[in-house]
Every structure is written in structure tokens, then in C-alpha cells.
Amino acid sequence: MTVHVVKSGESIWSIAQSYQVPLSSIIEANQLNQNETIIPGLALYIPNNGLPIRSQIVSLGDTISNLAKKFQTSINLILMANPGINPYQLRIGQKVNIPSPLKLVMETLGFIVPYSPKSFLPVLNQIASNLTYLSIVSYSLTYEGYAYILLDDTDLITESRRLNVVPLLMIRNFVNDEFSPDLIGRVLENPRYRQNLINSLMSFILQKGYGGVSIDFEFIPPPRRLDFNLFLSELKGALGSLILHVNVHAKTEDIPTNRIIGAYDYEAIGRAADIVAVMTIDYGYPTGPPNPVSPLWWMEQVIRYATSLINPQKLQIALPLYGYDWRLSDNKTSAHSLLGAQNLSIATGSVINYNPQAATPSFTYWHGAEEHMVWFDDIRSFQEKYKLIDQYGLLGTTYWQLSLAFPQNWFFMDQNFLITQ
């Protein structure tokens, strides 16, 4: 596989010629218009027969030779993939790219808010081989702890089962389309309400044929930290062999009094849950200053902290299928799918810049007299973030959310990973 970054004067046709691949394969993988002018800085995924690139952090005793043997590849291919590397002096902590026929194996989860389930079914059919779990975002709860359904989930459960993707019931502490600290706080602090929630969740799960539950309780009041731990332990006891998937806000240290991250006791959650998904998204957030949504350096800091407390093989990181568009005069923010952000840069003729430390592209454009800045991910940034999963031995990743188009990712996954199903 190859990622090509467009240079000034290049066309889709000239790029296809240089890689000796059909023009149609580049257009399809990147959802381009054959006649449109592509812009400098645009990252294109070039489907070809190249080897997947694995990535390792050098540890004590590693040599180029034993890495080549471990990944069933050659020393020369490793040296070519790491320009400037000294094969006789690998440093502990150094990152090495390894072309290898052994694909990274991982478990993935995609979220879907089923506003229009039937329109999503064709998408699910196209990407099902890239998913282990489908988390269906359809449930909230009452102040007495009773789970209730917000959006119809029936067709998605049936279709995901048919496609060998495990459906998970996702519940959020949502009131009037917002996360409610008061709602989840009242339920967690009351043993009877906690039991109501467990009983009602189990009733829905068994009645509808879910494979487990995905918990997304956000802004939990910090005093409810121990109650949340207890709830998860009790819920896992009720679930038995069914999956308990828990989403937690990203952090690089424990601040028990913080209103956003304080209630998440990573170590206790890791003991109770089958899978912990750390939400490594929204570093750059709506109405805040323009920033990358998921900068690589920050994600790695979060992973290092999380893996110090949770078994890496229980951990997923989050990848965003969206980018943010800030109006610079007041930071008013809108969102685009990653394909939408790419198309906006092309439509406005905006050159894309790439921040290697964040592994994230951005561009600016004018809408009338208003200047905008867009931070989004592309296939080269996803490529670098997937390497973190390999480097730290993580279980895999989640995607928010699947209705947002990013075709390059699914082509990339088909050629580079083995997804557990």
C-alpha cells in the first residue's frame, strides 16, 4: 500500500501513471471526481500490492535480524522502510517500521446513531468485514434507573448478526440531546436505581439479541466514582459471558475532582470491563481554539498512562471520522466528515498543510469575508495512529461514527489488517 501526497502540478492521471495503477482505483478509493483539479497537500490512498507496514518500539535485545525473523520479512526491506537507521545501533524506545506479510490483528467497534437505519444498511454491508462490534446508540435512562429506547434498533441488530458483527446496546446519560451529570449521578448513588438499570439493560439485551452493552456515561459527578466502579462490577456479573464495553474520557493523569475525567478510575474499570475504549478524540473541540481533533503526540501520552493501569489487550483507542471547521473571528464551529473536509479543501482550492508531530492535516479558506480553519484526519494520519495500536499491543480501535464517510480508511483496512469477528 502507498499514501501519496499531491504536489503542485500533479493530476490524478499523472499519479496513476507514476504508480502504474488504474485511474479508476485511485478515484474509487478516494472518492474523487475524475475531472476535478486536486490540490497540493492532499493525501491519496493508492491501492497496490505493497506489504503492510508493521511498527515496533525497540526493546532490550532487539536487532534488525530478529525483527526480520519475527515479522517474516527481510533486513533489506526494514532498512528501506527506515531511512537513516543504523542497523548496528538500535536504541531502546526507537520506533521501527517493518514491511511484513503478517497483518496486524485487532478488534474494532463502530458507533452508529440510527436516525435512518435503512439508509445505513448498505454502508454496513460494505464495511462489515472491518468491524468486530457495532455499537447501536439508541438508549438512555430515567432518573429511577430504567433504560429506555430512543431510536429504533431492530433492523441494525438483525443485519449486524447476519454479517457476523456483534451488536452492542449503547446507553448514554442523555436528556434533551445532552449528557446529564445530574441524571447519572442520581442513579449511581442509589443502590436500588443501579439495580433497576442493570435489570432493564439485561431485559433489552436478552429480548433483542444483543451481544452485550457499551456504556457511555459522561460528566459523571466525581463523588460518584466508587459507585460507578460498583455498578460496572455488578453489571458484569449480570452479563456473564456477554460483552461489557466501557467508554472513558481520555486523560494523562488521575485528577479525581475533575468534572470531566474525575469519575473514571481506569484501574477499577479495567478490572470490571471486557473492553475499555479511551476516547482519544476532541482534543480540539467545538467553540474552543482551533486544534487537531486527535493529535498523535497526545494520543500516545494517553495510551502510556492507560496501559500503566489497564491490560493493553483490553484497550481500544478512538479514531474520529470527522473534522472541525472553526470560524476564526469567534471560533464558531461546525463539523465535516473526513471525506467532506477533503472535498471542501478541493472546492475552495485550499492547500493542505500537515503537522507531523500531531500527524494531522489542516487548511484555511475564506467564506465571504470570514476566514475559516479546518483540522481533520486523512489516511496518512490514520496510518500513523494505527501504528500506536501495534506499538503498544492494544486490542484495537473505535470509530465515531459510521455514518460519516471516509472511504480511504476501509480500503486501507482491507489491505493491511485482520479484523477479529
Q: Is residue 273 domain-shared with residue 182, that is, in the same domain?
A: yes
Q: What average pLDDT does this structure show over 301-318?
A: 98
Q: Which pLDDT score is estimated for 241?
A: 98
Q: Is residue 139 domain-shared with residue 249, that is, in the same domain?
A: yes
Q: Is residue 93 domain-shared with residue 144, that is, in the same domain?
A: no
User: Which amino acid is residue 189, in one-letter code?
Assistant: E
Q: Which pLDDT score is estimated for 395?
A: 98
Q: Is residue 142 domain-shared with residue 85, that is, in the same domain?
A: no
CA 108 to chain centre: 9
Q: Is residue 94 domain-shared with residue 142, that is, in the same domain?
A: no
Is residue 135 pLDDT above 80, yes or no?
A: yes
What CATH number corresponds to the domain at position 88?
3.10.350.10
Q: Which pLDDT score is estimated for 9?
A: 93
Give the C-alpha separation, 257 to 272, whole Å. 22
Q: Residue 72: inside a domain, yes or no?
A: yes
Q: Residue 10: inside a domain, yes or no?
A: no
Q: Which pLDDT score is estimated for 8?
A: 95
What CATH number corresponds to the domain at position 138?
3.20.20.80
Is residue 37 pLDDT above 90, yes or no?
A: no
Q: What average pLDDT does this structure show over 67-73?
A: 97
Residue 33 pLDDT level (bands cut at 50, 70, 90)? confident
Percent of the chain topping pLDDT 70: 100
Predicted model pTM: 0.96
For residue range 221-251, list pLDDT tens digits in order: 999 999 999 999 999 999 999 999 999 999 9
Q: Is residue 215 domain-shared with residue 266, that is, in the same domain?
A: yes
Q: Residue 5: inside a domain, yes or no?
A: no
Q: Is residue 140 domain-shared with residue 266, that is, in the same domain?
A: yes
* Among candidate residues 255, 259, 329, the one with its CA nearest the CA of residue 290: 329
Q: Is residue 143 domain-shared with residue 245, that is, in the same domain?
A: yes
Q: Is residue 143 domain-shared with residue 61, that is, in the same domain?
A: no
Q: Is residue 267 domain-shared with residue 193, that is, in the same domain?
A: yes
Q: What average pLDDT does this structure show over 310-323?
A: 98
Q: Is residue 58 domain-shared with residue 179, that is, in the same domain?
A: no
Give the C-alpha separation, 79 to 74, whole Å. 9
Q: Residue 59: inside a domain, yes or no?
A: yes
Q: Is residue 60 domain-shared with residue 140, that is, in the same domain?
A: no
Q: Residue 255: inside a domain, yes or no?
A: yes
Residue 359 burial class via C-beta count within 10 angstroms: exposed 0-12, middle 13-18, buried 19 and up:
buried
Residue 91's domain spans which residues?
A: 53-99
Last residue of a domain, one of 279, 310, 341: 279
The count of structural domains within the chain is 2
Task: Tell me the sheet residues that pair with 184.
Answer: none
Q: Residue 264: inside a domain, yes or no?
A: yes
Are 277 and 368 a contacting pair, CB within 8 Å?
no
